[in-house]
Amino acid sequence: MPKTYEIRQVQTDQEKRDALSVRRTVFIEEQQVPEELEIDEHDEAGTPTLHFVAYAGDIPVAAGRLRPYAPGVGKVERVAVLSGERGTGLGRLIMQEMEEAARQNGYRKLKLNAQCHARRFYEKLGYAPIGDVFEEAGIPHISMEKPLS
Ligand code: COA
């Protein structure tokens, strides 16, 4: 039977800790991104950033965040699925949840900087590349965007 996940927009301190724990495992431990780059000012309490976390039962297994970027434009960042849960459709689910929240918040377009290995994942969700490949935290990235209908 396919696994079921519960995706929540973070409301509590515990949910925020859970989202950050997934990001720590994926970005800091697995991808060796320096902690001071991974956790940044957009994670601070009181900022307009929306955080998302997915649970398998009680276990946090995926995360992402959405923040204002420009008038009418949101930016999706820190999309992470624990390695054992990849390829199950969970990445797509958390993206769709963030897109729905973006629409409800009045965004007409979403932007993201994709790690190049994940470009196809985002293309399948309707994002198109813009500009050239660049490096961030030692990882090749490409900017992508998608108009929201
Ligand atoms: N390359 C090509 N296609 C990919 C892909 C990849 N790296 N990752 C997913 N896809 C495809 C899947 O095959 C699937 O296609 P389908 O609809 O034809 O079946 C579709 O994208 C959705 O995949 P899904 O199972 O929802 O993706 P996932 O749960 O494995 O999550 C990531 C994808 C990128 C979020 C996950 O691999 C991850 O967390 N990676 C490490 C962190 C990271 O690099 N995040 C991206 C930062 S920009």
- Inside any domain, residue 102: yes
- Inside any domain, residue 78: yes
Nearest CA to ligand 1 atom 4: 121
pLDDT band for position 149 (cuts 50, 70, 90): confident
pLDDT tens track for 8-52: 999 999 999 999 999 999 999 999 999 999 999 999 999 999 999
Q: Which helix (H) or strand (E) holds 108?
A: none
- Inside any domain, residue 141: yes
What's the pLDDT score for residue 92? 98
- Inside any domain, residue 69: yes
C-beta of 124 in contact with ligand 1 (< 6 A) = yes
- Inside any domain, residue 90: yes
At 127, which CATH number? 3.40.630.30
Mutate to test the pocket of ligand 1, among 66, 75, 86, 143 (most ligand atoms within 8 A of CB): 86
Name the more confident of 112 and 2.
Answer: 112
Nearest CA to ligand 1 atom 5: 121
- Inside any domain, residue 35: yes
What's the pLDDT score for residue 1? 64
- Inside any domain, residue 81: yes
pTM recorded for the entire structure: 0.97
DSSP string across 48-105:
S-EEEEEEETTEEEEEEEEEEEETTEEEEEEEEE-GGGTTSSHHHHHHHHHHHHHHHT
DSSP string across 10-26:
--SHHHHHHHHHHHIII
Domain of residue 111 covers 6-147
pLDDT band for position 3 (cuts 50, 70, 90): confident
- What is the sign of the dihedral through the CA atoms of 40, 52, 139 and 83? positive
When divided into structural domains, the chain yields a total of 1
pLDDT tens track for 80-125: 999 999 999 999 999 999 999 999 999 999 999 999 999 999 999 9
Nearest CA to ligand 1 atom 36: 81
- Inside any domain, residue 1: no
Q: Which residue has the tokens 């897109």?
A: 99
